[in-house]
Amino acid sequence: MKMNILKTMNKTTKSNTITYLLVAVVYLVVQLLVTTGNISSLMKGLLVPLCVYVIAAISLNLVVGISGELSLGHAGFMCVGAYASAFFSVLVGDALPEMLRFILAILIGAGVAAIFGILIGIPVLKLRGDYLAIVTLAFGEIIKNLMNVMYVGRDADGLHFSVTDTASLNMAPDGEVIIKGALGITGTPKNSTFTIGVILILIALFIILNLIHSRSGRAIMAIRDNRIAAESVGINITKYKLMAFSISAALAGVAGVLYAHNLSTLTVKKFDYNTSILILVFVVLGGIGNIRGSMIAAVILTVLPEVLRGLSDYRMLIYAIVLIAMMLFNWAPSAINWRAKIKAKIKNRNMKEAE
């Protein structure tokens, strides 16, 4: 019955439905495992980080896959979202009910990251290709270094800012320092849960998939495929590129919010170019432009090093080898041919059996 419905749908709706269903099914299976107690603490602890990386990966895929620009500063947007929301949550404290505070924190994280996305996007999107990659890389580093020297405290007089040290905040003795330079923000409430993570994934998917299949999405892809042709039919290049870039930044900010509210410490060290590259690896492994693929790749590559803990000293070595093997299996032309052959064989056999 389900297959019939799937068959009558058009191709994109079908593909989207599969993506949503995949998330829902995984969620239900995991919830079942959690409630029956059949899941290890390690896996349970990994659930929220998995949501973080899935959101980060699909949002980067919007820039890399759909808009066709190479961005190496994605962790920078996560950082902005994480810091803005964690700052908000610590500042507000218990003045608001937990759920409301977290929802506001998510909105603030997304909003601030989007603003940064627009601010960075305006000058940066004048560049193309490699140049854009370098500038986004620089942006990520700038954010990292800025956050590293930022001190913000609060006392009865209000907020105090400084870029040197805590002492120069000039706070009253009962004041509390919220952002402590290199130490970052500590004591962020742990609000992120798997359920909220999955809801955010579904929202992110909804936004991205709908954008791709909308008029704007087609315009963005037209620019990717042929900029001159797109321009000649009157598509506003800057507008559409900026749209993709800032939506992607906002969603990365959401991933950052989820990350910040999962751990009680937040330092910028996490958001260096290694993380940006890691997210890019998710996207490349899963298939540039393939949203479902980047979700699956993010899950596998996050779980893999943890599952390999049994190998102790050889863990990172094996992880790297498995990564290379997966890349080859997925994307080497000969591997693709081989898989096509196998697939044809299976099809033939099935047809013969059917006869």
Where do contacts with another protein occur on this chain (CB under 8 A)?
33, 38-46, 49, 141, 145, 148-149, 165-167, 180-184, 186-187, 190, 259, 262-265, 267, 269-270, 287, 290, 292-293, 296-297, 299-300, 303-304, 306-307, 309-310, 312-313, 315-316, 329-330, 336, 339-340, 343
Terminal-residue alpha carbon distance, the chain: 24
∠ CA 318-320-322, rounded to 5°: 65
Q: In whole angstroms, how close is the CB of 34 to another protein at the nearest point?
A: 12
- Decide whether 22 or 222 has the Cβ nearer to another protein: 22
Residues 49 and 260 sit within 8 Å (Cβ to Cβ): no
Q: In whole angstroms, how close is the CB of 86 to another protein at the nearest point?
A: 13
- Decide whether 111 or 175 has the Cβ nearer to another protein: 175
Question: Which among 203, 251, 190 is positioned nearest to 53, based on CA atoms?
Answer: 251
- Decide whether 65 or 184 has the Cβ nearer to another protein: 184
Q: In whole angstroms, how close is the CB of 131 to another protein at the nearest point?
A: 22
Q: In whole angstroms, how close is the CB of 241 to another protein at the nearest point?
A: 27
Based on the number of CB atoms within 10 Å of its own CB, is 163 exposed (0-12), middle (13-18) or buried (19 or more)? exposed
- Decide whether 91 or 342 has the Cβ nearer to another protein: 342
- Decide whether 114 or 152 has the Cβ nearer to another protein: 152
Q: In whole angstroms, how close is the CB of 238 to another protein at the nearest point?
A: 32
What values do phi and psi take at 129, rounded to 5? 60, -130
Q: In whole angstroms, how close is the CB of 255 to another protein at the nearest point?
A: 13
- Decide whether 166 or 216 has the Cβ nearer to another protein: 166
